[in-house]
Amino acid sequence: AQSVTQPDIHITVSEGASLELRCNYSYGATPYLFWYVQSPGQGLQLLLKYFSGDTLVQGIKGFEAEFKRSQSSFNLRKPSVHWSDAAEYFCAVAAGDYKLSFGAGTTVTVRA
Amino acid sequence: EAGVVQSPRYKIIEKKQPVAFWCNPISGHNTLYWYLQNLGQGPELLIRYENEEAVDDSQLPKDRFSAERLKGVDSTLKIQPAELGDSAVYLCASSPRLAVYNEQFFGPGTRLTVL
């Protein structure tokens, strides 16, 4: 079965600084990979997804992620964070049965 | 276009009481999901519907949990009786149809506290 590991429980970053969130997945075949963001009291919103093709994927809100098969990773990046990026971020993987398996999430705090 | 609607947003009950959550998916979305999100964890799938048919309920604790999606639109998730360990956020999501590449749109969730 597929699984996802997000090694960082909590990251604090200064406003305007760059951000990188790590995600490692476990799946035997080519996975479908997703990043979601959850703001307090809100549902999850899809930031970006990877199915095939270009390994650098652009998403909403200025986020991008890079799929690295050799490292089983799908790390999320943003060049310059805004205070509104403070939220919880979830990486997820889906296998052929359409079931999403989520990581435990990374909480991002943005300091002024 | 309205998103996924869930009610209530918050619910506090005593253990052994029943509780029900309601979800109205995005109009036209055939696939509906119920997820359980424990504190500090990612969502875990409880049940998935394709129209009115539950196509995956393998993770639903059937001794106390039940769900229905009459007419293939709204859905209700019920717990009877609730236990302390059921305190969590219950998320509903929908997608146009059952396909991994289809984005799942999530509602705001119902936060359940069992005392």
Q: Per-residue pLDDT for B98 more than 80?
A: no
Compute the distance between CA of residue A54 and CA of residue A93 in angstroms, rounded to an integer: 17
**Mean pLDDT on B85-107:** 87
Give the DSSP per-residue string, A18-81: -EEE--EEE-SSPPEEEEEEE-TTS-EEEEEEE-SS-SEEE-GGG-EEEEEGGGTEEEEEESS-
Q: Per-residue pLDDT for B102 more than 80?
A: no
pLDDT of residue A40: 85
Give the model's confidence band at A8: pLDDT under 50 very low, under 70 low, under 90 confident, else very high. very high
Rounded to the nearest angstrom, the minimum Cα separation between A45 and chain B is 7
Within 13 Å of residue B8, how many CA atoms lie on the same side as its CB?
A: 9
- Say yes or no for a CB contact (<8 Å) between B108 and A43: yes
What percentage of chain A exceeds 70 in pLDDT?
98
Compute the distance between CA of residue A4 and CA of residue A21 in angstroms, rounded to an integer: 13
Residue of A nearest to B41 (CA): A104
**Tokens found for residue B28:** 């036209």
Compute the distance between CA of residue A72 and CA of residue A27 in angstroms, rounded to an integer: 9
Q: Per-residue pLDDT for A29 more than 90?
A: no
pLDDT of residue B100: 64
Give the model's confidence band at B103: pLDDT under 50 very low, under 70 low, under 90 confident, else very high. confident
- DSSP, res B103: P
- State pLDDT tens for residues B43-93: 999 999 999 999 889 899 999 999 999 888 999 999 999 999 999 999 999
pLDDT of residue A97: 64
A102 and B CB contact within 8 Å: yes
Residue of A nearest to B109 (CA): A43
Q: Are strands A10-14 and A106-111 parallel, antiparallel or unpaired?
A: parallel
Indicate which of B104, B105, B110 best probes the interface with A, i.e. most A CBs within 10 Å of its own CB.
B104
Q: How many CB pairs under 8 A join A and B?
A: 53
Q: Per-residue pLDDT for B1 more than 80?
A: no
φ, ψ (nearest 5 deg) of residue B3: -85, -165
pLDDT of residue A96: 66
- State pLDDT tens for residues A46-99: 999 998 888 999 999 999 999 999 999 999 999 999 999 999 999 999 876 677
- DSSP, res B69: -
- State pLDDT tens for residues B20-44: 999 999 999 999 999 999 998 999 9
**Better-scored residue on pLDDT, B113 or B104:** B113
Q: Which residues pair with B75 in a beta bridge?
A: B23
Rounded to the nearest angstrom, the minimum Cα separation between A37 and chain B is 11
Q: What is the largest CA-CA distance in chain B?
A: 40
- Say yes or no for a CB contact (<8 Å) between B104 and A96: no
| Residue B5 · residue B110 · CB < 8 Å | no
- Say yes or no for a CB contact (<8 Å) between B43 and A99: no
Across the interface, which of B101, B105, B109 has its CB nearest the CB of A32? Answer: B101
Name residues whose C-beta falls within 8 Å of residue A54's C-beta, 6 or more positions apart in sequence.
Answer: none
Is A87 buried (19+), middle (13-18) or exposed (0-12) by CB count in 10 A?
A: buried
